[in-house]
Amino acid sequence: MQHTPTVQIIETEVLSDNWYTLRKITFEIEKQDGTKVTQSREAYDRGNGAVILLYNTSQNTVVLTRQFRIPTYVNGNEDGMLIEACAGLLEKESPEECIKREAMEETGYEVGRVKKIFEAYMSPGSVTEILYFFIAEYTHKDLRHDGGGVKEEEENIEVLEIPFQESLRMIEDGRIKDGKTIMLLQYIQIHGLLKAA
């Protein structure tokens, strides 16, 4: 039988409000045996986001991006570069509107119809963000510009069009280490939307 504990927030303290917001939350939570304990945890609030995998059924390809990510660099990713599906934070818009805008900014592709496949908390032990996952078909007729991100935000994004089989090999050999991207590529594989071999 599942136990849903009662929770009472006692205190919330803002530790940092520089880039996003880091809070220390002290709360009382009920354990399974009915006793209550007080705990403190930190939660990083950067807003919610959306991610999309663009795929082409006639070419059997996917569109990914490559960019520098400082957290991976300081955690041992040698050059700090990460291959990812196109993603971004919601800016007072719906997840669908967000991901269409991000796809255009980052990849140069204008996608009309997007399909939401699921949503997930990616790091629930410390980050509040929920991520909305999408897929969409693309063709070269949908390309409006070279992509690369928003210059005013100093984005420097490389656009990659990769054969689907190669993208799966890139997961196996470690060239793709981004969790959201792995989830989307495996979704495409499981549902047989592209040929895996």
pLDDT in tens, 55-94: 999 999 999 999 999 999 999 999 999 999 999 999 899 9
Bigger pLDDT: 148 vs 42: 42
Q: CA 188 to CA 167: how far, in whole Å?
A: 11
pTM for the full predicted model:
0.93
3-class DSSP assignment, residue 98: helix
| CA atoms within a 13 Å half-sphere pointing along the CA-CB vector of 1 | 3
| Residue 189 φ then ψ, to 5° | -65, -50
Report the pLDDT value the prediction gives residue 57, as an integer from 0 to 100: 97
Q: Reduced to 3 states, what is the DSSP secondary structure of residue 154?
A: coil
Residues spanned by CATH 3.90.79.10 within the chain?
A: 49-190
What's the chain's average pLDDT? 95
For a pLDDT cut of 90, what percent of the chain falls above it? 89
Beta bridge partners of 37: 29
What pLDDT, on the 0 to 100 scale, is given for residue 154?
Answer: 67
pLDDT value for 106: 95
Average pLDDT over residues 96-118: 96
Q: What is the mean pLDDT of residues 155-178?
A: 96
The string of pLDDT tens digits covering residues 20-30 is 999 999 999 99
Q: What is the mean pLDDT of residues 174-188?
A: 98
Count CB-CB contacts under 10 A for residue 183: 18
Q: Give the pLDDT confidence score for residue 148 in this predicted structure.
A: 84
Is 54:108 a contact under the CB 8 Å cutoff? Answer: no
**Predicted confidence (pLDDT) at residue 1 exceeds the cutoff of 90:** no
Considering the four listed CATH numbers 3.40.50.300, 3.30.980.10, 3.90.79.10, 3.30.540.10, the one that applies to the domain covering 49-190 is 3.90.79.10
